[in-house]
Amino acid sequence: MISEAVILAGGFGTRLSSVLQGIPKPMAPVNGRPFLDYQMAYLAFHGIKRVILAVGYLHDQIISHYGNRFGNIDIVYSIEHEPLGTGGAIKKALLESKENPVLVLNGDTFFELDLREFHDFYRRRNTTLTIAMREVNDTSCYGSIEVDWNGRITGFYEKSESGKKGKINGGIYLIDKNFLFGFNLPDKFSIEKDFFEKIYRDHNIYAMLFKNYFIDIGVPEEYSKTKDDFRHFRYF
């Protein structure tokens, strides 16, 4: 079972600046608790024992709030002193990891996967990288992912004006760190554009579709929903 996770918690929260007022985006308040608490509690419920927080912007606030523990979870920090992109942040954080594979998730979204099911999918396909997908009615804002009958990724498609239903990257990954480190990657790069989209033709990488609850607090309209959505949060 997965026991270690990386949370990408270095975002600026530009679209929420009027709400955050000097608070890092993962610490956005939801019913009196930081949004990051909800992710941590969810991970603890699923047996995660160690979390690497990839922090950057206003990281001192996150470190002073959590220290090195959240319940039964040990916390360590990977600090970006300049923005490294999603790929650079993951690459740097994985240097702190002790387990393999490692779960990676965005610090400004909540995607309620069954992590055991996700890991089983990864293991059964004997792969080194699996992406959690979600389905949306309009892919024009996101770009989309195509997979074959077994979940192997066969294409990434740019944003378009078509507005059609499709599958998109849900921002949660299971990554074999040795696979990632086997590439000559720069310190700054996008995991999506500069890695996933460049390697999928030559490597068997997979994606699994989940139709579970998802919210992105980087979108002000969605952040405003969290108060009601998380009122009876079942993982605390």
C-alpha torsion 98→83→13→93, nearest 10? 0
Give dist(CA 11, CA 56) in Å, integer: 7
> Residue 160: its pLDDT value, please?
66
Question: For residues 161 and 153, what is the distance between their CA atoms, to the nearest angstrom?
Answer: 22
Domains of the chain listed by start with CATH number: 4-229 (3.90.550.10)
d(CA 120, CA 224): 34
pLDDT tens for each residue of 3-23: 999 999 998 767 776 677 788
User: What is the model's pTM?
Assistant: 0.95
Q: Average pLDDT of 182-186?
A: 98
Lowest mean pLDDT across 3-17, 59-73, 193-207: 3-17
User: Count of CB atoms within 10 A of residue 140's CB?
Assistant: 14
Q: What is the mean pLDDT of residues 176-185?
A: 98
**E strand residue ranges, the chain:** 4-9, 29-30, 33-34, 50-55, 69-70, 73-79, 102-106, 109-111, 129-136, 144-147, 153-157, 166-175, 206-209, 214-216
Contact between residue 111 and residue 172 where contact means Cβ atoms under 8 Å apart: yes
Task: Indicate the SS3 state at residue 139.
Answer: helix
Would you say residue 84 has pLDDT above 80? yes
Closest CA to 91 of 6, 196, 202: 6
Contacts of 45 (CB under 8 A, 6+ apart): 235
Contact indicator for 117, 103 with CB cutoff of 8 Å: no
